[in-house]
């Protein structure tokens, strides 16, 4: 298998393998590439729903998504879709999945099923690159800080999605979420320091109000989303992406109004985070 960097600070494209057949040393190499680069992209994959599930189980545990619709035949697979008559998409702002959980999901395996003629790309940003490029004084300031994350303002019955044309399809609106994590974590496998706040779900720093927290949060968000920390994935038939939630943020570009887009996602079980 061959690895090709997608951008200097984020992303890798892996060629020469079929994920449906990946196991053993090949699967270990895919894991390490994903942990290191944040997102690994595979083209021209023959990947049925059953193979999608089998691959995720070889990787580790599967977390059932609490909010998105699930496929009828395979509840392990969440459906991330926008119909041709909808204007709102899922994931249209920078975020990292499941930071609002006590034990956040490791990442996801996302398979393209229905694509618009053009558009619908996904951006990722690498939080290791973002942390590394912070000034020394900022790194010292963040040392030992923790922050509170929740999804309630997004998915609640009166949350952001409920006010859009995506609201009727979501599940789990009555759930309450909340977790406190270090602002800077060490990756459980690589040991690399990562900035662990995100615009979607990080609400405030521990011991501060939302208003007190916003100036520093906004400064960190602006720094993390600098172009040099990003890569961009153009989806094609047969494309699969695997990403690491600890290492990256992502954003689904909503630029294909009038066309349908449907992706199938399996969420991979994670582990507790530590500073």
How far is CA 264 from each of CA 229, 239, 248, rounded to the nearest angstrom? 26, 11, 19
- Strands 39-42, 12-15: pairing kind: parallel
Q: Find the range with the poorest average confidence among 26-40, 152-166, 230-244.
A: 152-166
Closest CA to 194 of 11, 18, 76, 36: 36
Q: Which uninterrupted H or E stretch holds 267?
A: strand 261-268
Catalytic residue among 52, 63, 97, 264: 97
pLDDT at 171: 85
Closest CA to 217 of 197, 195, 200: 197
Q: Is 275 exposed, middle or buried (0-12, 13-18, 19+ CB in 10 A)?
A: middle
Is 168 inside any structural domain?
A: yes
Is 250 inside any structural domain?
A: yes
Residue 72 banded pLDDT, cuts 50, 70, 90: confident
Closest CA to 245 of 215, 200, 206: 200
Could you tell me where the beta strands, DSSP code E, fall in 83-127? 107-114, 122-126
124-147 as b/e: b if 16+ CB within 10 A: bbbbbbbbeebeeebeeebeebeb
pLDDT at 196: 98
Q: Is the dihedral of CA 208, 211, 216, 222 positive or negative?
A: positive
pLDDT at 174: 82
56 neighbors 268 (Cβ within 8 angstroms): yes
Number of structural domains (the chain) is 1
Catalytic residue among 98, 250, 261, 264: 250
pLDDT at 35: 98
Determine the Cα–Cα distance for residues 221 and 161; give it in Å rounded to an integer: 22
- For residue 134, give both structure tokens: 């912070």
How far is CA 122 from each of CA 107, 140, 231, 243, rounded to the nearest angstrom? 15, 32, 9, 12
Indicate the length of the chain as a whole number. 275
Is 50 inside any structural domain?
A: no
pTM for the predicted model, two decimal places: 0.96
Domain coverage including residue 182 = 61-105+113-233+243-268
pLDDT at 156: 85
**198 phi and psi, to 5 degrees?**
-150, 150
Vertex 11: Cα angle to 50 and 30 (nearest 5): 45
Q: Please indicate whether residue 153 is annotated as part of the active site.
A: no
56 neighbors 50 (Cβ within 8 angstroms): no
Is 196 inside any structural domain?
A: yes
Residue 184: pLDDT above 90? yes
CATH code where residue 68 lies: 3.60.130.10
Is 187 inside any structural domain?
A: yes
Residue 162: pLDDT above 90? no
120 neighbors 224 (Cβ within 8 angstroms): no
Residue 173 banded pLDDT, cuts 50, 70, 90: confident
Is 86 inside any structural domain?
A: yes
Query: What is the separation of C-alpha 57 from the centre of its chain, rounded to a whole number of angstroms?
Result: 19
Q: Please indicate whether residue 95 is annotated as part of the active site.
A: yes
Catalytic residue among 81, 95, 126, 261: 95
Is 51 inside any structural domain?
A: no
CB atoms within 10 A of CB 178: 14
Is 14 inside any structural domain?
A: no
């Amino acid at each position: 298998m061959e690895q090709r960097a997608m951008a200097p600070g984020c992303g890798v494209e892996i060629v020469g393998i079929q994920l449906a057949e990946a196991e053993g040393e090949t699967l270990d190499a895919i894991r390490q590439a994903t942990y290191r680069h944040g997102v690994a992209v595979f083209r021209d994959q023959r990947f049925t729903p059953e193979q999608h599930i089998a691959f995720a189980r070889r990787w580790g545990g599967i977390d059932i998504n609490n909010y998105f619709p699930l496929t009828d035949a395979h509840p392990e697979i969440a459906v991330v879709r926008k119909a041709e008559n909808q204007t709102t998409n899922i994931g249209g702002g920078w975020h990292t999945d499941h930071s609002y959980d006590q034990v956040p999901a490791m990442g996801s395996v996302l398979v393209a099923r229905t694509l618009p003629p053009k558009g619908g790309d996904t951006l990722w940003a690498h939080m290791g690159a973002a942390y590394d490029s912070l000034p020394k004084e900022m790194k010292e300031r963040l040392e030992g800080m923790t922050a509170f994350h929740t999804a309630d303002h997004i998915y609640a019955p009166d949350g952001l999605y409920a006010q859009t044309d995506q609201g009727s399809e979501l599940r789990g609106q009555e759930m309450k979420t909340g977790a406190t994590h270090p602002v800077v974590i060490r990756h459980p496998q690589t040991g690399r320091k990562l900035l662990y706040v995100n615009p979607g779900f990080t609400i405030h720093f521990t011991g501060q109000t939302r208003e007190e927290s916003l100036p520093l949060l906004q400064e960190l968000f602006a720094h993390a989303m600098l172009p040099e920390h990003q890569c961009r994935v153009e989806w094609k038939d047969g494309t699969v992406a695997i990403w690491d939630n600890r290492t990256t943020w992502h954003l689904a570009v909503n630029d294909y109004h009038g066309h349908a887009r449907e992706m199938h996602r399996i969420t991979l079980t994670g582990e507790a985070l530590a500073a």
